[in-house]
Amino acid sequence: MSNTTCSDDVHKIQANSSECLDFCAAKQQEAGRVREYLKSHNGEEPPDPVIVEERPFTCRDGTTGEEILLEMGGLPRWIAVFGVPPGPATPTPAKKRRPQRRVKPITPLPSVNMAEVKREPVDWMWEPYIPKGKLTLLDGNPGVGKSYITLALAAAVSRGAALPGQSGPVDPQRVLLVSVEDELSHTVGPRLDGLGAESMRIIAIPEPFDLDETGAARLAATIEEHRPVLVIIDPLVAFTSAGIDMNRANQVRQMMLRLNKIAQRSDVAIVAVRHLRKADAKNAIHAGVGSIDYVAAARSVLIAGRDGDQTILAHAKCNLAPLGPSLAYRIDDSGFQWIGKVDVGADDLTSGSQEAGSPGAREQAKAFLKEALKGGPVQAKEVQDWAEDEGISGKTLKRAKKDLGIKSNQESKKWFWKLPDLAAATEHTDEAQEASRRTDDPLTP
C-alpha cells in the first residue's frame, strides 16, 4: 500500500491494518505538539518519526492512536488517504470522546446439574414438627406456656424420652438452651427438675448477645463445643441486634440466614421463640411479630395458644412433611403434661380464638346453622362461606355442627348438611360438646 506525502515533515498515523492516514503538519511546531501530547500520555519520549498504531501502539492510559487524533482538534492541516493528494482544507474540530475502558469479564453464577445432586431423606428430631438441620419457630402470646413447651422438649431429649407421636424412646442427647427471660436458678432449673430432665445434658447460655456475624460465629463455636441435637433460643427478639428493624425483610433475612446456616452445618434443630402480634390474624403464619421473612426462613412453624379452657400446640407450616395434628397440653401445679390430639387448627388459635372458643360464640354458631338449614339440605361449602361472612370460625362452626347432630351426606360428589329431627337434636349434651373438642374428624367428611 502506497502512502501520499507532502513536502513538510511527515508523521505517519496508522489506525489499523487496512487503512493508512498520512498526517502532515504545516509547521514543525505543530509536529512538536503531537510529540508532547504523546509524551504526556506515555510518560516517555515517543519514537521518531511518530507512528501511532491501534495495535499494538496504545498509550498507557488506554488511549488509542485514533483517539489521540480526535483529541488534537485542529491537526492535521492536510490528510492524504490511499493516494488522494493532499490539499488545503479548513480544519474541522473533532468531537472529543472519552477513552474506551476495558470491560472486565463477567463471571457466571455458580450452578449445579440437578442430576448430580445427591438425594437425602429428612432427619427429624420430632417428626413432623421439628426437623434437624433446620430452623423451627414457636410462636405464641405471653402466658400460654411457650417456654414451658421448650423445656419439656429439652427434658425429653436429655433423657431420651418419646415425644407425642414417637413410637418409642430414643438415645439421650444434649440440649443448648439460649434463654434470658427466665432465671436459671428460680425458674428454668426447677421446671427441668419437675420434668425429669437429665440436667447434665442441658447447657445454658444465660447472657444475651447479638446474632450478628460475630455473635452467630460464637454461637456456632459453642454448638461445636457441646454437640447438642437441639438448640432453643428464647426469645428470638432478645438476641436481635438493636439496629435491625424486625419489620424489614432485607434486615431480618440476613439474621435468619445465619441461623439456618448454623443449623445446617452443625446438623442441629434450632427452635426460636417469638411473640404474636396484638391484633388477631386469620392466617397463623402471619400472626408472629415482625416481617414475614421470619416464617419464610423457617422450615416449620408451631403456634401455642388457648382454645377455651385448653392450651394447644398447633402446626402452622411445614415445608418437609404434612402438618402434624394439634396437641393439647396442661400446665398446673404439678407441672407440664401432654394431653392428646385435638381438632383445633393453628388459624383458630390466632383468629380471635378466645372469642371463637367461648360458649357464646358456639351458641351463635348453632343458631346460625339452624337458620341456614331450616329449609332442608344445603351444600357444605355454601354453609361454610356464609359462616365466614358472619365472622364464625371454622372451629366454632364444626363444634356447633356436632352439638346439633347435623348429618353430612354426599350427592353427586358434593357434601350436603342437613338438620336432624328436632327430638334427636335436643339429645346432645355436654358430653357431646366435650367429645367435639377431642375428635380428629375434619369439618367436612
Peptide bond into 49 cis (omega under 30): yes
Q: How far apart are CA 310 and CA 301, in angstroms?
A: 20
3-state SS, residue 226: helix
pLDDT at 26: 39
Q: Is residue 234 part of a domain?
A: yes
292: Cα within 13 Å, side-chain hemisphere:
6
In degrees rounded to 5, what are phi and psi of residue 49?
Answer: -70, 160
Task: Decide: 79 and 22 in contact? Cβ < 8 Å.
Answer: yes
In degrees rounded to 5, what are phi and psi of residue 269?
Answer: -90, 125
What is the average pLDDT score of the chain? 78
Helix 380-389 and helix 394-404: axis angle, to 10°? Answer: 120
Q: Is residue 119 part of a domain?
A: no
Residue 337 belongs to domain with CATH number: 3.40.50.300
Q: How far apart are CA 72 and CA 81, in angstroms?
A: 19
In degrees rounded to 5, what are phi and psi of residue 417?
Answer: -105, 145
Q: Which of 81, 112, 132 is the last residue of a domain?
A: 81
Give pairs for 22-30: CB < 8 Å, separation 24+: 22/79, 22/80, 22/81, 22/86, 23/69, 23/75, 23/76, 23/79, 24/76, 24/77, 24/78, 24/79, 24/80, 24/86, 25/75, 25/76, 25/77, 26/77, 26/78, 30/75, 30/77
The more confidently predicted of residues 159 and 445 is 159
167 and 198 housed in the same domain: yes
Q: Residue 61 is part of which domain span?
A: 10-81
366 and 333 housed in the same domain: no
Mean pLDDT score, 385-402: 80
In degrees rounded to 5, what are phi and psi of residue 384?
Answer: -65, -40
Total number of domains constituting the chain: 3
Q: How many CB atoms lie within 10 A of CB 338?
A: 16
350 and 361 housed in the same domain: no
Q: Which of 81, 109, 144 is the last residue of a domain?
A: 81
Residue 434 belongs to domain with CATH number: 1.10.10
Tens-digit pLDDT profile for residues 399-434: 788 888 898 888 888 889 988 864 344 444 444 444
Q: How confident is the model at residue 349 (pLDDT cuts 50, 70, 90)?
A: confident
Q: Is residue 181 part of a domain?
A: yes
End-to-end CA distance of the chain: 94
The torsion angle over the Cα atoms of residues 250, 268, 164 and 434, rounded to 10 degrees, is -10
pLDDT at 70: 58
Task: Decide: 203 and 158 in contact? Cβ < 8 Å.
Answer: no
Q: Is residue 257 part of a domain?
A: yes
- Residue 224's H or E segment, with its range, is helix 213-226
Tens-digit pLDDT profile for residues 121-167: 999 999 999 999 999 999 998 889 999 999 999 999 999 999 999 98
